[in-house]
Structure 1
Amino acid sequence: MKLRFKDNPNRTMYIYCRVSTSGQEKGGSSLDVQKERGIQFCKSIGFEPCVITEQGSGMKPYLEVRPKFSDLMDGIQDGVVKNVWIDDETRLTRYDMDQQLIHVEMKKNGVSLYVGTSKTPKEWDWVTDLVDTIITKVNQNQIKTQVRKSNRSKRRLFSEGKYMKGDPPFGYKLEGKSLVPREDTRDWVEKIYRMYDDGKTTPQIQHELLINNIPPPRYEISNNMVFPLETIVNILNNKNYIGIDTYGDLVNECPKLVDKKIFDSVKMKVSRKKGQKSNVKHDGLLKGILKCGDGTPMKIEGVKKSRKNPLYSCSHRQRVYKKRCNHTNCSVTKSMRQYETDEIIWNHFVDVWKDSKTIRQKTKEELIGNRSRYSIRSINNRIKRLTKDLESLHDRRLELDKRYYSNEMVKETYEILCESNTGKSNELSEKISKEKFKIDNIREKQRWIDWLDVHFKRGENLREISSMKERKKVLSEYIHEVRCLDYSEESKQHKLNIGFRIPIINDKIVYSKNKNGSFSRDKKGRKKYEIKEGVDKLNTPLTLHKLLHGYRFRKIPRLVHITSSKNGNMVRQQLQRYN
């Protein structure tokens, strides 16, 4: 969370409290103790306290492990922090490189640093920097010495049969720092191994543990009964269960909960799955786009002996089938044929694209371009004025030559004036060339282009795209999702909702009108208009079986959605497409 700085930096004291670990409560260095001391100090000198508490190592660069202190340093550099209090120098940092950088920034920005109970701020001079550097290096050496002693003590305790890796694994408990089986969960360790060895997946094992109310490790902290899948994988790889405990290069014995044969069999299966590549088995035009009503992506089921066509199926029902959950409320009760669904959505998209007034306008602007603010006549008038100025410069140049060669002007003056005249002449000539280019450009734009015919041809070219990769690229630009809302038992069809990224469905051209009701027109007599946005959702309609001829309907996939029967042409077009 970003620090919020006070409006009055000169009367605000930022109390920075830090501990290295969550368990650092001894020796009067806990966060609460530091906070209380800092607030009392602020009251004694009349400053408004602003407390910052943080857990992070002082042996590492503060930018990597202490975000709140990093924000505090940003405030110092921005000039919004002028007073800082710390309980002792080690709370600031134990890293010698940081210590010098922090001191330089505080000195440069005029920050008063108060340490402990001293009401005199720290002096920023070379003697102080030298002493602080020596103290920081001594502290670093002390910490390294403590770490070495701690590691040596842990190795000694491990050799005595103690468990030195923190919390005990699932199925064990600690007695006198040694692992002993936990009676209520020890049998479940072997069950987990046997279930995996018999072919069950980690989600299935997770479900089995959940329905039997087996709490995961650290349940008292997380209060979550669901076993993390990563925890199950760690259990399947833990050598503690076959009586082997390791700490670095040391090896010890511990109570065994699983037979070594089962452990080796499971280990082989886990390593085999870990080495498998996650190749995409089935791909479809709508993969990742087609979703259930609640927004969950639908899956693709490939072809097999009992299934002739690949299907888009509900992910919820897949979980129920694989016994990952007990029930689902999803409205998608039937799967959809992949190829037919892809074609339907693609054709719907192309129809919307072709009919969109917004897309047509973009095509028009691309081919014809924006209209020029100036007419050819106005540009010609400007060229005439520039040409007149250019002729005037030529006359002046002739007058200069005449005076120079008549010995009425010295050479230096003549050269300066000639150079100025030539520069202005070149500038005017360039302007005339640019104006003539504008005329050529306007005449090119006025040339007739049947942009509407180009638009419809592009639409037909879209429809003829057969590459799934190209289709997916186009769809991702315009459509962000397709939701399967429900299934009609009466018509045997699904209702799909297509969500577009831009509102181009049923957008309209709205012509501008004058106060008297007549159409507003531009200088060339063309009607002025603007594009009114449409909507970004399209529902595919449903058609009852009785509205279609039975012998024809059998030739149409059940997913083809056709508009109402009064649109006879549309019905015939859809029938011809699938005959």
Structure 2
Amino acid sequence: MKKVKITNKPNKTLYIYCRVSTTKQDEEGISLDVQSDRGLQVSKQLGLSPIVIKEQGSGLKPYIEERPLFTDLMDYVVDGKIKHFWIDEDTRLTRNKDDQGFIHSDFIKNDVVLYVGKNGGIKDLKDWMVDLIDSITVRINERQIRQQVRKSINSKRRLFTQGCYMKGDPPFGYKLVDKKLEIHEENSEWVVKMFDWYDLGKSTVFIRQQFFQNGIKPPRSKEEWWGLNTITKILQNKNYIGLDVYRELTNECPKIVEKKVFESVQKKIRTSLGRSIETKHDFLLRGIIKCPDGTPMSCLGQKKSRRNPLYGCGHKQRQYKNRTTKTDCPITKSLRTELIDDYIWDLLVDTLSSSHTIKETTKKELIGNNPSYTKRTFNNNIKKLNKQMMDLDTNRLELEKRFYTNQMDKKRFNVLIESIEDKEEELMGKIHQNKMKLESLNYKSKWIDWLDVHSSRMNEIRGITDFNNRRGIINHYIHENLILDYNEETRQHTMTIRFRFPLFDDNFEWLKNKDGSYKLDRWGRRRYNISDGETEMTNPFTLQKSLNRHTFRKVTRHVHITSSENSKMIS
């Protein structure tokens, strides 16, 4: 996650905060770059060193929920580390009437000077008249924004009834002409083939293989390989039978596929999905979260007597099912799954974001250890990897053929398919790495800003919502999560998190000569060393959540983070 740069000279530094609510505002003259340029001009006038913070997030919602960078800035204000703050205009600070009072109060308490506009005028927050006008302005802005949202929705409804497509980019096989769907001559033929192939019993793997061989790339992606889920979603899209849906409204659009074929495909998709065995209740930390003695905690799903899914003491459930004798366990309270899942996920991403080892991995991936690689090297690697993907698809098709003709039992089929999927994921990762290295050669003479790439990747990871993707990442980095005890008086859980790799609090230092100058490598770059950090740290965490419908409690969990006993460094 991107962090705010802070200095130890608050009286000589101007923090320039730039915010937009949506990417559309870039086109309306209030883009982040426009705000930044104005702030930099003010910093020159004031003779202060500038630090620019750019962020996209809603000003209507509480900033602590929407704007992590601004949240960090307010924490630094309270700590006394910020004394000069600039915004382009008042609404860049907030449009939320509740936040406004808290922000102004913190600025006043900590003697922060607020500069506004391209001329850098100082806003007197202690003046009651200024505060009153600001409060009225915020309420008016809030009302106007909500009215604009309602008007936008009504406008989209009206345009939809006029035949316009209101769901962003057109589906594969269509193009937008005057905001209306029209058939794309070339791509629509592939849509028809896609439905025909699937209707004839061909798999999504076969379809992907055909698209790759014919150079048909997926929409909204730079990759050459189609995702199998993407193909399935296309096969379920009702636009292709002339039915367009927006909210509760329906409309007609050009038809590409016959309804009879579409319905036949839907039956086959339902049959295919029905073959997979789905767990009734699945849990992110299943097998990872454990009682103090290492016994996996029970995962308890919803039912009439249990409103929320829980992680409970594994011993109690085993006793309840007569699988073991009574065991004393200090875990007397179960944990709400969504609360502990979110906490562990955020903690993991924060650890990865700050880990020098992970940053070094990103750097090596981008610029490598050997700068003598050529574009031909990476192009050849990509060709070889694509060939291996083709071979995997061929093997997969052969396995499916044998399974569906009753020449292979289901257990063996699932094991082999899983191994192919694992190898496929590995190859896709290598293809992506080689493409990144190929792109980096265009900047060979520059210092690649790989820290921005690292930050961007961490933001992408933090934004992952897919259950299986999240669980895969957690299983890769976390060995186990031990819930040690529960304090009835303070309502505190104490837990130990053991990572598979020593990634947290690792150290970074520049290597220097005896005379104090930096050591350089043969390409003239500064040399540095990354060493393991602490093996254990305590992280007190206060989680303010509604634990049930009527009561708000403050739960503190003391977290001890350690690496696994047999941990190894990432190569």
Q: TM-score, normalised by structure 1?
A: 0.48
- Structure showing greater radius of gyration is 1
Higher strand share: 2
Q: TM-score, normalised by structure 2?
A: 0.49
- Higher relative CO (Cα under 8 Å, sequence separation at least 6) belongs to 2
